[in-house]
A and B are shown apart, each in its own frame.
Chain A
């Protein structure tokens, strides 16, 4: 066996702020994960299909534009629709606390807000990947 945790770091929507996504991608690489980064402006359909083709363990979305209430649940729905029952789906960005319960309800396992150390994301993934 030569299993490594594989993560899709995705930027849904039109938001161009990718500092966080890129820093997280690098930190995950440095934690020994294999990281596929989608680049900007990905539709939920593209993200779900890429997640499926890459058979990732984790889909990590970053969004700072406020479109998360619409886009995060849509990605969850489409990823599950591809048959990926076990993939961990997490999100991060400028996300008000009050929005988080609804996102979790929709199937986003965890939401990381500004100021979260990358080690916390790494630890969360290690603890929760099936």
Chain B
């Protein structure tokens, strides 16, 4: 009898342990949280629209700038000369137009026995050509003025200057980025969730964010779930054949899907820099019963979007709709 009780106690304990072990596994593996999240922001790269030496450098590294603030000035002597040249060309063309216009006026009024029809027609067309050339010179002057104007490079947004390597006297080329600006107030979090956790994440779900530095918790919500990541199996080789990777038979690594999280409120004292590491946990929807559910779209929240193309058979969306929110 005592042996039976001993066996029974041990077996019951083992059974409980197995059940709790399964719960623990599910909890740890499928709770939507990740340590792999980064702070991101809107980055605007600044490239001059004209080439030349940097005459004045007004920006300095990590400086706060407002939209319209002067960042640097490219040497504009050549562009001033170009404007003067274009002005002179315009004057030249204007006068040749007047000349040919007057010629045409005179010939138009001559009688048909004084001038041939051909000569009169030539005079008319010459006047037209001169007019077109004057318009061309006008457009070139406008273009030269734009170049001159853009030799002063200004900030398009409010933000901070990042990674300024530019120095006064450097030669900058048209279209080559010289610095970048992080737009103020544009910080958001991109969390890279394992694909196994994606089904339990909905657009609109609340999220808790911790930065690696500091213990302060920030709240946000999911705004979008990435629709694509690179697939190395489709990379073609030199013969355009797909380079299909071998997988291990037993071990397969889950892919990470980027999920964008908007920060609802940045607490005082929290300093955000684009690129910081963060941990993100999606708050369990079952714990948010205070009216949030009514606002939140059902299921993935974008099942309709997924099936917008009428050519996609409805089977594509059935998974998303069956999902328990």
The reply to whether chain A is a binding partner of chain B is: no
A residues lining the B interface (CB < 8 Å): none
Q: Which residues of B line the A interface, CB within 8 A?
A: none
